[in-house]
Amino acid sequence: MTARTGPQAIATQEVPLLGRFTQQRALVLEAFIEAEEAEGFVSAQSLHTRLAAADAPVGLSTVYRTLSALAEAGRADVIRDMHGERLFRYRPGSDHRHYLICTQCGVSVALDAVAVEKWAAGVARTSGFTAVQHTVELTGICPDCGPSAGGSSGG
């Protein structure tokens, strides 16, 4: 399919949603997509740190602004961890998704949540509420991090 030649290729081909194309946005986007493939959700802070470590420093504000724009455009899912930090995950498609996230390593798995969607729709109908939106987050410990994975974490 597409031969990626660098940040620009990714940005221009896959996410033509942002206003003006800049080197910084391409960098953030690239790191964001890589993070999605590797571990799922990431925070703006960690993305910022990662970029700096990768010798591609981008201002923290810019990371926030890019990620927020992405979320606004529906190209990213946003959740909050127990600490209150916002975590972003790149979303290739544009449909609503739910995830199961490992609390140990951060890896996330997209879920087939038809049952939840139906339930939520039913609640919306019977409650009299309008503009009902739902947030569903599952967390747990993935097989790789589990107690029987040669793990050393007591629990």
Partner DNA sequence: TTCGTTGCAAAAGGTTTGCATACCA
Partner DNA sequence: TGGTATGCAAACCTTTTGCAACGAA
Residues interacting with a second copy, by CB under 8 A? 80, 84, 86, 100, 102-103, 109, 111, 113, 115-116, 118-120, 123-143, 146-147, 153-155
* Residue (of 54, 52, 47, 15) closest to 32 by Cα position: 47
Least distance between DNA and beta carbon 71 (Å): 9
Q: Which does 124 bind (CB under 5 to 8 A by kind): DNA, a second copy, none?
A: a second copy
C-beta of 62 vs 113, nearer to DNA: 62
d(CA 57, CA 59): 7
Both tokens assigned to 36: 């999605």
Q: Which does 65 bind (CB under 5 to 8 A by kind): DNA, a second copy, none?
A: DNA
29 near DNA, rule: CB under 7 A: no
Both tokens assigned to 17: 């949603």
- Residue 80: which H helix or E strand, with range? strand 76-80
DSSP character at residue 87: E
Chain centroid to Cα 136, Å, comes to 14
60 near DNA, rule: CB under 7 A: yes
Which of residues 15, 25, 90, 113 is near DNA by CB under 7 A? 25
18 near DNA, rule: CB under 7 A: yes
